[in-house]
Amino acid sequence: MSAIATTLTIMRHAFRAGLSDYRSMYTWKSWLAGWFVRVLAQVSFFALIGERLGSDERTTFYLLVGNALAVAAVTGVFSLNATSAERWAGTLPLLVASPSSPVIVFGSRGSYLAVDGALSALSGLFVAGAIFGMELPWPRVLLVVPLTMLVAYSCYCFGTFLAGIVFRFRDINSFVVLTSYMTIMAVCGVNVPLTYYPEALEWISRFLPLTNGLLAIRGVFDGDAASAILGDAALEAAVAIGWMTAALLSFNRLASRGRRDGSLDYGA
């Protein structure tokens, strides 16, 4: 079997294993009654803040769109929980000891999260949008679907990179998940325009997932020129590629270091 075929087989098995994990957490009923209610509550929570501010509708819709897309970010960043899950299952050292690269497994096993993130964000956006009376410009609004998928994948790439970083420091896993997600919420233009913060922070945020994709999505709603939307989407795609490349470059080195110093233990 060629190297590519082997890699594809590993990716397929890892994806199916991840999907099985997800099915053990959620059925479609518990997804709707649990996770989706949370998504809707999160988006509504911020949209209501917009209403409480008492300014024009644009503020409410700004917060609504930003926080719906932030759901895609949180789900994508959740992918770094994969390392902890392997540790709990006692399979982490086995993965590192196997001849294939752990990044292939981690990169594929959590990819269902990008799909889930896009689905959650889109359903949150459209349902909360309807509740708060947001206008959805047809057929332009269809562009939001691929753009949201791009954002979800970009956040997933970022999460995979972080998974490599926390590989040897699993005690801070949840810590890194929440800090990353909250930082994205704070500085990526989710709640206030990028110009609100100092220019240096604005620049940094352009290298984080969500920022550029969210600008593209806001552009769709605001009726911006196609070139501007495409430009922001291209930047989001570049950020995704950048983080996945960083994950590929750093993951094996960090895992090998753990193997050398014996820090990849079994269980908690």
Partner 1 sequence: MYGYLAGLKLEARLIHAHPDSLIPLVTAPLFTIIFLAIVRESGRYDLQPDALMAPVLMSLWWVALQHGGNIITGDRWQNLLESIVAVPTSLASLLLGRVTTVMCLGLVSFFEVWAIGELLFGVSPAFEHPLELVLILVCTAFASAGASVAFAALFVMTRNAYTFTNSAGFPLYLLSGVFVPVAVLPGWIHPVSSVIFMSWSADLLRASMKSAAIDDFWLRLGVVVLLGAVSFLIGRLVLFYVLRRMRTTGELATA
Query: Is 46 or 233 the residue whose CB approaches partner 1 more closely?
Result: 46
Query: Which of 10, 18, 44, 107: binder of partner 1 (CB under 8 A)?
Result: 44
The residue from 11, 19, 48, 165 that contacts partner 1 (CB under 8 A) is 48
Determine the Cα–Cα distance for residues 247 and 63; give it in Å rounded to an integer: 31
Distance CA 48, CA 64 (A): 9
The residues, any chain, with a CB within 8 Å of residue 84's CB and separated by 6 or more, are 170, 173, 174
| Residue closer to partner 1 (CB basis): 11 or 48 | 48
Q: How many CB atoms lie within 10 A of CB 171?
A: 9
Closest approach of Cβ 197 to partner 1, in Å? 8
Contact in structure between 165 and 106 (CB atoms under 8 Å):
no
Residue 98 phi/psi, 5-degree rounding, is -70, 155
Q: Which is nearer to partner 1, 178 or 234 (CB)?
A: 178
Token output for 10: 């590993």
How far are the Cα atoms of 14, 155, 207 from residue 240, in angstroms, in the given order? 21, 7, 9
Instruction: Please name the residues in contact with 118: beta carbons below 8 A apart, sequence gap of 6 or more.
Output: 72, 148, 149, 151, 152, 153
Q: Residue 100 or residue 183: which is nearer to partner 1 going by CB?
A: 183
Q: Site mask, partner 1, residues 173-212, x = CB under 8 A?
A: xxx--xx--xx-xx----xxx--xx---------------
Q: Which of 6, 9, 20, 30 binds partner 1 (CB under 8 A)?
A: 30
Which one of 12, 37, 94, 145 is in contact with partner 1 (CB under 8 A)?
37
**Given the complex with partner 1, which of 128 and 229 has the nearer CB atom?**
128
Binding positions for partner 1, 114-173, rule CB under 8 A: 171-173
Of residues 10 and 63, the one with the C-beta less far from partner 1 = 63
Under the criterion CB under 8 A, does residue 266 sit at the interface with partner 1?
A: no
Binding-site residue total for partner 1 (CB under 8 A)? 38
Among 11, 15, 26, 165, binds partner 1 (CB under 8 A): 26
Q: Name which of 42, 40, 21 is nearest 32 in CA terms.
A: 40
Nearer to partner 1, 48 or 136 (CB): 48
Segments in the chain forming alpha helices (H) = 3-25, 28-30, 37-53, 57-77, 81-89, 92-97, 102-109, 112-131, 144-165, 173-187, 199-205, 211-222, 226-261
Rounded Cα–Cα distance for residues 97 and 129 (Å): 48
Q: Within positions 53 to 112, which residues make up the interface with partner 1, using CB under 8 A?
A: 53-55, 59, 63
Residues that bind partner 1 (CB under 8 A): 24-26, 30, 34-35, 37-38, 41-42, 44-45, 48-49, 51-55, 59, 63, 171-175, 178-179, 182-183, 185-186, 191-193, 196-197, 268
